[in-house]
């Protein structure tokens, strides 16, 4: 009786297996095959070793069951060959041999399973079961292994996806900085089609070869130190040629034994952030720039200048050099603004800025302080000659006219200099003192420069106080007009008088117009003061005429600045009308300087005055440089010989010559002529003898208040 459970087990175990059965005894073969057919999924038969081997090669068999003694090729040889093809192949030998030496040979080729021939079913089932169990176990293990492999492949795929999805570039390199792998984003940056293309390449092979050396150096540093390098910024050339900014981190790449086998890197493209940051920075810089620069000229402004001056003062003692502060003011800039307009004024300032810049060394600073004021900072002065040279250069740079539209403007500068440490220890004091010195240059007739001296401070202080006081004095009516007679020395008749303003201050006492007129001109109060004098003088003369007196004309001094008022002529007309003043009772005194500065404008303005019926007299004549030809063009009536030429008459030969030539010039041009500052009889008589009959001076009378003048008018002609 066969063991049923054993058979069932064997049938179960073999149900999926394929058998190759090799047996030359056909009867036995068929009988056995019949028995086994219920066990195996398939049974393939061969009838000798050669056929068995060929069949084996053509198919897939889980078990080979073979006889030993067969024609053409015996079972032993066939088994050996099969083993060569597949060392794992399960082979069961069915044989009548029992000799141990023979079995040993089979064992040597790895065959452990033997069945006695003819086979007993149980023994066959047992043998097949154990073989099948082994095969099935092996298959199970293989399947498991396969599944595990697949799982691994899946998890690798997942990792790959993650690596390719994170918005970070990832790459890893070996010890020679050769790429082992990267993610998609990285491959894109490198302009590669697939990640595999990268493998084996170095940075020198990629689009960013210009940066390769730096990258490789970083790799080396990370690998040799074993320390990661975290979040540092660097640049990278991309496939499209653009440069991008990266934040990179590199860390050593370790194997299972924690040995460094390469470097793992990641980076983020921060170009956008950088650009945004740069925009923010630029906005900040622009603000900073605007805070430190003058918009019109683009030059440093007051703030930046102070900053640089502070620095220069700090540095100077170390190099044992001096620092120069040069304060520059454009002469008569207001005139340009008023006559040509602010647009041209602005352009002039711009061009002036450029011109000043060009006559400086690169190391010097030029700043605009506003209006027409510029200030220079000259460092590293070893010799004061350096400063003088710069000043001369600046002054000379103004000899070429500044061209704006159709205008060629001849401009001049006044400059004041203060030196650190001689003239002050602080930036504030140095600038103030340079400013003071600049005012001195203005007082000296402009177009010049002055070095600061201690004495100036006192003067400028009173200058400052004075300008404040002039304002108050106008409000308080502290200005009084005095009158000085002008007499025909031959007929001893009163021709008229000159109006001369006086400042009688309740605190300071009498202040000379020679002191306060220039200040009033500087601080812009001369217009107001001039109008006041004109009104006083005109209403006074009207009053005297109305009283039936015969005062002649009143001659009022005009500052050149007053003449720059656009509506000046209109103002005169309005005032005369309001006061009911006959224009023939008036005369205006102008100076040569004014007419020479801008002849075209001057001639037009003077003609306007003359057209009102007011006479014009040229004051201080002889001190300027008017040419005869030029004088001819001016619509004036009278030349006034300056008292400087009268003072030393008749001793000074030079003065005699001048006075004589002025008189003959006036005669030839049909101007009348008057001499001022005549104090002595000799001077008086000399002038009359030379043909100048009109006399003004202490010889007849000093300037006097209106009440005294009224008496003078009433009595003089009657003497
Ligand atoms: P100026 O127009 O040349 O005036 C003549 C100056 O000589 C006056 O000085 C007068 O007082 C002085 N003087 C007159 N006769 C003699 C003399 O025989 N000997 C001497 N040594 N001096 C004599 P003052 O009044 O001090 O005026 C000085 C200057 O102030 C004037 O010079 C004029 O340029 C200016 N000034 C005076 N009043 C006015 C005014 O109302 N408006 C303007 N714009 N300037 C004025
Ligand atoms: Ca005068
Ligand atoms: Ca004069």
Query: In this predicted model, what pLDDT tens digit does every residue of 90-132 receive, in sequence order?
Result: 898 888 766 666 777 777 777 777 888 777 878 888 888 888 8
Please work out whether the CB of residue 414 comes within 6 Å of at least one atom of ligand 1.
no
Task: Report which listed range, 85-89, 145-149, 278-282, 540-544, is most confident.
Answer: 540-544
Q: How far is the CA of 329 from the centre of ligand 3 (A)?
A: 28
Would the pTM of this model clear 0.85, i.e. be above it?
Answer: no
Q: CB under 8 Å to 691, separation ≥6 — which residues?
A: 663, 664, 667, 673
Q: CB under 8 Å to 484, separation ≥6 — which residues?
A: 497, 498, 500, 696, 701, 702, 703, 704
Please work out whether the CB of residue 345 comes within 6 Å of at least one atom of ligand 1.
no
Q: By CB neighbour count within 10 A (0-12 exposed, 13-18 middle, 19+ buried), where does 336 fall?
A: buried
Q: How far is the CA of 561 from the centre of ligand 3 (A)?
A: 17
Give the pLDDT score at 323. 95
Give the pLDDT score at 2. 62
Nearest 5 degrees, angle CA 703-CA 708-CA 714? 115
pLDDT band at 537 (very low <50, low <70, confident <90, very high): very high
Beta bridge partners of 675: 641, 695
556 Cα nearest atom in ligand 1: 41
Give the pLDDT score at 719. 55
Average pLDDT, the chain: 89
Which among 489, 497, 500 is the best mutation to test ligand 1's pocket, defined by most ligand atoms within 8 Å of the CB?
A: 500
| CA–CA dist 461, 608 (Å, integer) | 39
As assigned by CATH, the class of the 465-718 domain is: alpha beta
Give the pLDDT score at 458. 61
Query: In this predicted model, what pLDDT tens digit does every residue of 433-468 receive, in sequence order?
Result: 999 899 888 888 788 899 998 777 666 656 667 777
The arrangement of secondary structure in 151-274, i.e. its CATH architecture, is 2-Layer Sandwich (3.30)
Query: In this predicted model, what pLDDT tens digit does every residue of 670-698 receive, in sequence order?
Result: 999 999 999 999 999 999 999 999 999 99
Please work out whether the CB of residue 697 comes within 6 Å of at least one atom of ligand 1.
yes
Q: Which of the two residues, 592 and 39, has the higher pLDDT score?
A: 39
- pLDDT of residue 291 exceeding 90, the answer is no
Domain boundaries, the chain: 3-138, 151-274, 292-452, 465-718
- Cis omega before residue 118 (within 30°)? yes
pLDDT band at 626 (very low <50, low <70, confident <90, very high): low
The reply to whether 292-452 and 465-718 are identical in fold is no
- What topology does CATH give the domain 3-138? Rossmann fold (3.40.50)
Q: How many CA atoms lie within 13 A of 43 on its CB side?
A: 19
Q: Which two tokens stand for residue 31?
A: 């009988």
Please work out whether the CB of residue 619 comes within 6 Å of at least one atom of ligand 1.
yes
Q: By CB neighbour count within 10 A (0-12 exposed, 13-18 middle, 19+ buried), where does 31 fall?
A: middle
Cβ burial 275-297 (10 Å sphere, 16+ → b, else e): eeeeeeeeeeeeeeeeebbbeeb
- What topology does CATH give the domain 292-452? Alpha-Beta Plaits (3.30.70)
Phi/psi-derived region of residue 262, left when phi > 0, alpha when psi is between -120 and 50, beta in every other case? left
Listing from the earlier edge strand, what are the strands of the sheet with 260-269? 179-182, 169-174, 260-269, 243-254, 229-237
pLDDT band at 571 (very low <50, low <70, confident <90, very high): very high
Residue bearing the CA closest to ligand 1, atom 28: 514
Percent of the chain exceeding pLDDT 70 equals 96
Q: How far is the CA of 586 from the centre of ligand 3 (A)?
A: 17
HEC states along 413-461? EEEEEEEECCCCCCHHHHHHHHHHHHHHHHHCCCCCEEECCHHHHHHHH
Residue bearing the CA closest to ligand 1, atom 20: 677
Give the pLDDT score at 97. 67
| CA–CA dist 329, 446 (Å, integer) | 10
Give the pLDDT score at 281. 81
Task: Classify strands 615-621 and 638-641 as parallel, antiparallel or unpaired.
Answer: parallel
Q: How far is the CA of 520 from the centre of ligand 1 (A)?
A: 15
Give the pLDDT score at 201. 94
Query: In this predicted model, what pLDDT tens digit does every residue of 487-534 receive, in sequence order?
Result: 999 999 999 999 999 999 887 788 889 888 988 887 789 999 999 999
Query: In this predicted model, what pLDDT tens digit does every residue of 145-191 receive, in sequence order?
Result: 888 888 888 888 888 888 888 888 999 999 999 999 999 999 988 99
Any idea which of 25-39, 408-422, 477-491, 584-598 has the lowest mean pLDDT? 584-598
Please work out whether the CB of residue 533 comes within 6 Å of at least one atom of ligand 1.
yes
Give the pLDDT score at 346. 93
Q: How far is the CA of 701 from the centre of ligand 1 (A)?
A: 13
Residue bearing the CA closest to ligand 1, atom 10: 703
**Nearest bound ligand to CA 533?**
1
Residue bearing the CA closest to ligand 1, atom 46: 557
Give the pLDDT score at 440. 86
Give the pLDDT score at 206. 93
Give the 3-state secondary structure percentages of the chain, helix then strand then coil, rounded to 5: 50, 25, 25
Q: How far is the CA of 558 from the centre of ligand 2 (A)?
A: 8
Give the pLDDT score at 82. 92
Query: In this predicted model, what pLDDT tens digit does every residue of 203-234 receive, in sequence order?
Result: 999 999 999 999 999 999 999 999 999 889 99
């Amino acid at each position: 009786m066969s063991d049923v459970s054993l058979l069932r087990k064997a049938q179960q175990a073999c149900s999926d297996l394929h058998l190759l059965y090799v047996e030359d005894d056909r009867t036995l073969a068929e009988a056995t095959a019949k028995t086994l057919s219920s066990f195996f999924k398939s049974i393939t038969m061969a009838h000798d070793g050669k056929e068995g081997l060929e069949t084996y090669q053509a198919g897939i068999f889980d078990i080979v069951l073979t006889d030993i003694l067969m024609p053409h090729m015996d079972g032993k040889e066939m088994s050996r060959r099969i083993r060569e093809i597949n060392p794992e192949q399960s082979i069961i030998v069915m044989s009548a041999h029992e000799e141990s030496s023979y079995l040993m040979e089979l064992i040597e080729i790895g065959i452990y399973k033997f069945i006695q021939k003819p086979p007993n079913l149980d023994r066959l089932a047992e043998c097949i079961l154990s073989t099948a169990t082994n095969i099935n176990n092996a298959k199970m293990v293989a399947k498991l292994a396969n599944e595990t492999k697949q799982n691994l492949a899946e998890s690798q795929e997942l990792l790959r996806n993650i690596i390719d999805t994170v918005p970070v570039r990832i790459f890893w390199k070996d010890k020679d900085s050769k790429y082992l792998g990267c993610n998609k984003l990285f491959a894109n940056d490198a302009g590669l089609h697939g990640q595999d293309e990268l493998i084996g390449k170095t940075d020198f092979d990629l689009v960013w070869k210009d940066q390769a050396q730096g990258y490789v150096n970083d790799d080396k540093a990370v690998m040799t130190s074993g320390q990661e390098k975290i979040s540092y910024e660097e640049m990278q050339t991309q496939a499209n040629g653009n440069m991008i900014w990266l934040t990179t981190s590199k860390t050593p790449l370790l194997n299972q034994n924690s040995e460094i086998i390469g470097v793992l890197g990641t980076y983020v493209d921060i170009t956008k952030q950088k650009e945004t940051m740069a925009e923010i920075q630029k906005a900040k810089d622009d603000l900073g720039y605007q805070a430190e620069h003058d918009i019109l000229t683009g030059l440093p402004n007051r703030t930046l200048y102070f900053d640089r001056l502070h620095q220069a003062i700090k540095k100077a003692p170390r190099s044992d050099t001096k620092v120069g502060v040069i304060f520059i003011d454009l002469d008569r800039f207001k005139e340009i603004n008023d006559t040509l307009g602010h647009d041209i004024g602005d352009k002039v300032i711009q061009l002036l800025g450029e011109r000043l810049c060009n006559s400086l060394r690169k190391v010097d600073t030029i700043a605009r302080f506003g209006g027409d004021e510029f200030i220079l900072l000259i460092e590293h002065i070893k010799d004061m000659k350096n400063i003088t040279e710069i000043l001369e250069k600046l002054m000379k740079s103004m000899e070429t006219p500044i061209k704006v539209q159709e205008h060629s403007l001849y401009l001049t500068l006044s400059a004041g200099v203060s030196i650190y440490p001689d003239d002050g220890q602080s930036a504030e004091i140095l600038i103030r003192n340079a400013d003071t010195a600049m005012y001195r240059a203005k007082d000296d007739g402009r177009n010049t420069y002055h070095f600061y001296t201690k004495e100036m401070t006192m003067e400028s202080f009173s200058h400052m106080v004075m300008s404040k006081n002039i304002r108050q004095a106008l409000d308080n009516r502290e200005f009084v007009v005095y009158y000085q007679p002008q007499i025909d020395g031959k007929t001893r008749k009163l021709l008229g008088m000159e109006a001369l303003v006086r400042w009688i201050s309740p605190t300071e006492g009498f202040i000379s117009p020679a002191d306060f007129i220039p200040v009033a001109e500087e601080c812009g109060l001369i217009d107001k003061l001039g109008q006041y004098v004109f009104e006083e003088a005109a209403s006074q003369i009207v009053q005297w005429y109305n009283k039936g007196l015969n005062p002649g004309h009143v001659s009022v001094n005009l500052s050149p600045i007053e003449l720059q008022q656009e509506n000046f002529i209109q103002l005169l007309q309005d005032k005369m009308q309001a006061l009911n003043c006959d224009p023939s009772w008036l005369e205006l005194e102008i100076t040569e300087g004014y007419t020479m500065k801008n002849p075209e404008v001057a001639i037009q303005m003077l003609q306007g005055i003359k057209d009102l019926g007011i006479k014009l007299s040229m004051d201080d004549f002889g001190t300027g440089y008017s040419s005869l030809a030029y004088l001819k063009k001016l619509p004036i009536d009278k030349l006034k010989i300056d008292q400087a030429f009268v003072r030393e008459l008749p001793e000074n030969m030079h003065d005699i010559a001048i006075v004589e030539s002025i008189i003959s010039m006036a005669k030839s041009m049909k101007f009348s002529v008057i001499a001022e500052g005549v104090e002595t009889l000799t001077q008086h008589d000399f002038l009359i003898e030379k043909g100048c009959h009109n006399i003004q001076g202490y010889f007849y009378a000093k300037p006097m208040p209106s009440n005294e003048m009224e008496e003078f008018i009433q009595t003089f002609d009657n003497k």
